[in-house]
Amino acid sequence: MNQDSTVTPTRTQSDYIGRFAPSPSGPLHFGSLVAALGSYLRARSLGGKWLVRIEDIDPPREVTGAADMILQTLSAYGLNWDGDILYQSQRLDAYQAKIDKLLSQDQAYYCQCTRKQIQAMGGSYDGRCGRLDSPHTHGAIRIRNTAGVERFQDLHMGDVCLDTDFATEDFIIKRSDGLYAYQLAVVMDDAFQGITEVVRGCDLLTPTCRQISLNQQFSYQSPLWLHLPLVCDAPGMKLSKQNHAQAIDTDKPQTSLNAALTFLGQQAVTPQSDIREMLAEAVAQFDLSAIPKQAEIVL
């Protein structure tokens, strides 16, 4: 079944649907908690739904058992989601159906250029494989980026203007190793789930232009965007699973929860044995304008 028929409907505030979409490459760390909490508080403060999606389409980076560990951690912190978990690995047929359609309509094409060749082009792909008289029949697949969105309005960071070469480049939607690219999957899944606003870290600020471009080309209603400061060990060094960031404590979550609230510029709440009472207080006093307008904050 091709599930790509769902497009985000016309929305009102009461229709708010947000999401947290971690990859199962390790346990949640403090940076992950900040992103999850920020998106949760935003959704609940607006009386909306908060969904969880596991982005498990890159098996080489995945850690066995990490998806279950992530869900258990969210539950330990009282971050309870609405509806069923969506696993991207369940959506492979939908991604392929979309790619097949794009190829058949000459909206995408195969590319065999190497990273070294692209570096020789100046670091930005020049679209040469899309102009061949005899097109390639295998390799990575690139979208013909006819939208080329270069700027957008972020609800927290304001007007974001991006590098033209990056924004207008024909980018990869399926890798040469057969794995589906994040840009394609995230756009299709946000539309499929009816996501009205994406709240996430500033590490994904730049790729947003490509996601807006795909939304336009696919005739999806693009969600609104709200990017939060990144938690960093040092300037330019965000906490990450790849850098072996320490997992957050699930036995006594109160301290980490208040630390995450403070990081987001919110008032710390009264520690309670029931973490849900703390979250209810945090939701009631959530103030978007108090979040620092910085791309990163070094701890």
Residue ranges for the known binding site for L-glutamate are 19-23, 55, 182, 200
CA distance 115 to 30: 33
DSSP one-letter code for 105: T
| 3-class state of residue 30 by DSSP | helix
Binding residues for Zn(2+): 111, 113, 125, 129
Binding residues: 19-23, 55, 111, 113, 125, 129, 182, 200, 241
Estimate the share of the chain in helix, then strand, then coil, as percent rounded to the nearest 5.
40, 20, 45
The residues that bridge with 238 in the sheet, in sequence order, are: 232
Binding residues for ATP: 241
CA distance 299 to 283: 24
Asked whether 227 and 154 are in contact (CB, 8 A), the reply is yes
CA distance 175 to 61: 15
The residues that bridge with 20 in the sheet, in sequence order, are: 52
